[in-house]
Chains A and B, each alone.
Chain A
Amino acid sequence: MSTPTTTSSAATAASTPSFGLGIGRSLKLGFSRITLEVRSYFRQGDSVFFTFLFPVVMLTIFAVAFSEQNFGTEEEPLTAAAFYLPGMIAAGLLLSGLQNMAIDIAMERSDGTLKRLAGTPLPVMSYFIGKIGQVFVTGVLQAALVILVASVAFDVELPSEPSKWVTFAWVFVLGVTTSAVLGIALSGLPRSGKSATAVVIPVALVLQFISGVYLGFSMLPEWLQNFASIFPLKWMAQGMREVFLPASFEVMEQSESWNLPGVAIATGLWLVIGLIMTRITFRWIRKDS
């Protein structure tokens, strides 16, 4: 055990509190957090399976189970893989964002990670950048994997028009951000890390069933469609359907339209709600617990 030689003595540190406390430092540390978070994410076996690979596993199951069925019309046939692709991408947004964040942060709160960070000069903003960045990176890889598997393994024809991919890009970015922010907001709900999975997974699962991920949205009764329309997942899935399904499917949507402005407004509204909730409720630690 050797003696650590201080590069600068404690006394100089005292007299020069001149290190940047501004936005530049928050961003720099935020990017440093993203690297750490992504590394940590992929080294955690259960999160890789339950959130990262889940959509591709489900897509494979549906594609194989319903391989004999036509989800389109006589003139315009559609395979199960093509039918489920947009839903699985939307589910990935929800899992990587909301479910993963809410459980992850609740765990970090109860295992002492947040308490340790609270005692360091890490800005809260950098922590959030790290989390949202991690969701973004894993979400992109996840969507790429789902699309790749759909295209290569199940011959799903991908859209060729650039405008479709522009829609994909904005729905994806808006959706993944909203989902991550809502996850952060939701992380304060479970009282302990252990109860986090029990609280969060049912919420995510119910949302997936009523939002057109596993069940065709047009199959649901109108009142349930209206109820699901309150939540953002329905809108993300709808946006993804516009990108990946044939134009003839548009009439099956609520109001017989893809309603992309509606997708932007509803998802954006939830983003704002999530940001406000996070601002009000997020604490490094529960004081005096």
Chain B
Amino acid sequence: MNTTAPVVQVENLRKTYGSFAAVDSVSFEIQRGETFALLGPNGAGKSTTIEILEGYRDRTGGSVSVLGVDPGKGGLAWKARLGIVLQSSGESGNVSVREQLTHFAGYYPHPRDVDEVVASVGLEEKAGTLIRKLSGGQRRRVDVALGIIGSPELLFLDEPTTGFDPEARQQFWQLIRSLKADGTTILLTTHYLDEAAQLGDRAGVIAGGKMIDIGAIDEIGGQEARTPRVRWRDANGKHEERTHAPGAVVASLMAAGAEPTGLEIVRPSLEDIYLQLVSDHAHAREVENAR
């Protein structure tokens, strides 16, 4: 097997329902060992895209290769190399955490150790508890544990930390970092932009079924969107200046006289850049529709 080939290759992916295009000529690649974050508002086509890659949905057009296999034709040996954490689960859960994980471990040729996985998602104390008696966040951790039990080469995480408290989210990030260190390739969708910034190597932003931007986490949106802002207050009110030389701006403020109040130098976060991208896209669409 050619290890330099991308793990995921998507070209001009298209999925239509009647006349509605849920996904419209989306293209991207994920390299081995990379964590790729797929971002976008609800209904943008993220889940449709990820479900096509997981083999759950058929595509209308374009070409897709996941671990060198067309997901529409992926067999059991192919599935054994994937880990899938779906967006939601509501199973009756009449088995305990350890029973469920031990059972699922049996599906895979090279499973992880059940107790280690239980520990890695922080459920040691709940290992003997029936899944239906767990809280929403704890059940979500079981979902994640089931996704990684088979030591997947490629892990799909569809909004994995919904319902987690901040501490659980931090622990989850730590887990994902350790999976990355093991060489696992990860495709992540999330609504938490800090999560994407923490974990992702690259990100793609989908809106209205189209990939509106794609790039490294610290480059997405372009250099201009990352221009730092200097904010301060004085007798005339609030001021904000976008500048590539924030130090010079501060120096000139100081040179002008008194220490400014509430002085801040802010670099736009991924969230700021993302919101800007999505709103620019929505605006461009409105203009297009108005014509």
Q: Is A24 an interface residue (CB 8 A)?
A: no
Q: Is A164 an interface residue (CB 8 A)?
A: no
Q: Which listed segment binds A: B73-81, B204-212, B246-254?
A: B73-81
Q: Is A163 an interface residue (CB 8 A)?
A: no
Interface size on B (CB < 8 Å)? 58
CB contacts under 8 Å to A, within B173-212, are 174-175, 178-179, 181-184
**Given B58, B82, B91, B178, which contacts A287 in the complex, CB threshold below 8 Å?**
B58
Taken together as a complex, chains A and B put the C-alpha atoms of A68 and B146 apart, in Å, by 58
Contacts of B17 in A (CB 8 A): 288
Q: Given A13-B151, A288-B58, A112–B76 Cβ distance below 8 Å?
A: no
B153 touches A287 (CB 8 A): no
Q: Is B160 an interface residue (CB 8 A)?
A: no
Interface size on A (CB < 8 Å)? 47
Q: Which listed segment binds A: B108-116, B216-224, B258-266, B280-288?
A: B108-116
A120 touches B175 (CB 8 A): no
A121 touches B86 (CB 8 A): no
Q: Is B213 an interface residue (CB 8 A)?
A: no
Taken together as a complex, chains A and B put the C-alpha atoms of A36 and B107 apart, in Å, by 13
Residue-wise interface mask of A (99-123) relative to B, using a CB-CB cutoff of 8 A (1 in contact, 0 not): 0000000011001110110111111
A21 touches B153 (CB 8 A): no
**Given B55, B103, B151, which contacts A6 in the complex, CB threshold below 8 Å?**
B151
Taken together as a complex, chains A and B put the C-alpha atoms of A285 and B54 apart, in Å, by 13
Contacts of A44 in B (CB 8 A): 92, 94
Residue-wise interface mask of A (7-21) relative to B, using a CB-CB cutoff of 8 A (1 in contact, 0 not): 111111111111101
Contacts of B84 in A (CB 8 A): 116, 119-120
**Given B1, B92, B178, which contacts A14 in the complex, CB threshold below 8 Å?**
B1
Q: How many A-B residue pairs have CB under 8 A?
A: 147
Taken together as a complex, chains A and B put the C-alpha atoms of A44 and B132 apart, in Å, by 11
For the complex of A and B, the 3 pairs showing the least CB-CB separation, nearest first, are A19-B109, A119-B84, A121-B80
A113 touches B91 (CB 8 A): yes
Contacts of A112 in B (CB 8 A): 86, 88-91
Q: Is B119 an interface residue (CB 8 A)?
A: yes
A5, A6, A10, A113: most-surrounded residue (chain B CB, <10 A): A10
Contacts of B151 in A (CB 8 A): 6-10, 13
CB contacts under 8 Å to B, within A25-57, are 28-29, 32-33, 35-36, 39-41, 43-44
CB of B208 to closest CB in A, whole Å: 20
B90 touches A111 (CB 8 A): yes
Contacts of B82 in A (CB 8 A): 119
Q: Given A10-B184, A40-B95, A4–B148 Cβ distance below 8 Å?
A: yes
Taken together as a complex, chains A and B put the C-alpha atoms of A15 and B1 apart, in Å, by 7
Contacts of B79 in A (CB 8 A): 119-121
Contacts of B152 in A (CB 8 A): 10
**Given A6, A13, A39, A107, which contacts B109 in the complex, CB threshold below 8 Å?**
A13
Taken together as a complex, chains A and B put the C-alpha atoms of A43 and B110 apart, in Å, by 30
CB of B134 to closest CB in A, whole Å: 14
Contacts of A9 in B (CB 8 A): 151, 182-183
A40 touches B58 (CB 8 A): no
CB of B139 to closest CB in A, whole Å: 11
Contacts of A14 in B (CB 8 A): 1, 67, 81, 153
Closest to A113 in B: B91
A43 touches B94 (CB 8 A): yes
Q: Is B128 an interface residue (CB 8 A)?
A: no
Taken together as a complex, chains A and B put the C-alpha atoms of A111 and B89 apart, in Å, by 7
Would you list 6 pairs from A and B whose C-beta atoms are within 8 A, ordered by A residue? Answer: A5-B113, A35-B103, A43-B130, A111-B92, A120-B84, A122-B107
A1 touches B91 (CB 8 A): no
Closest to B91 in A: A113
Closest to A33 in B: B103
B76 touches A10 (CB 8 A): no
Q: Is B57 an interface residue (CB 8 A)?
A: yes
CB contacts under 8 Å to A, within B95-154, are 95, 99, 103-104, 106-113, 116-117, 119-122, 130, 146, 148, 150-153
Q: Is A255 an interface residue (CB 8 A)?
A: no
Contacts of B181 in A (CB 8 A): 3
Q: Is B171 an interface residue (CB 8 A)?
A: yes
Q: Given A6-B112, A11-B183, A123-B76, A118–B56 Cβ distance below 8 Å?
A: yes
Taken together as a complex, chains A and B put the C-alpha atoms of A146 and B84 apart, in Å, by 44
CB of B277 to closest CB in A, whole Å: 29
Taken together as a complex, chains A and B put the C-alpha atoms of A194 and B130 apart, in Å, by 23
Q: Given A5-B116, A119-B56, A21–B90 Cβ distance below 8 Å?
A: no
Taken together as a complex, chains A and B put the C-alpha atoms of A127 and B99 apart, in Å, by 17
Q: Is A248 an interface residue (CB 8 A)?
A: no
Taken together as a complex, chains A and B put the C-alpha atoms of A59 and B96 apart, in Å, by 35
B77 touches A29 (CB 8 A): no
A32 touches B103 (CB 8 A): yes
Q: Given A15-B1, A123-B76, A287-B56, A1–B175 Cβ distance below 8 Å?
A: yes
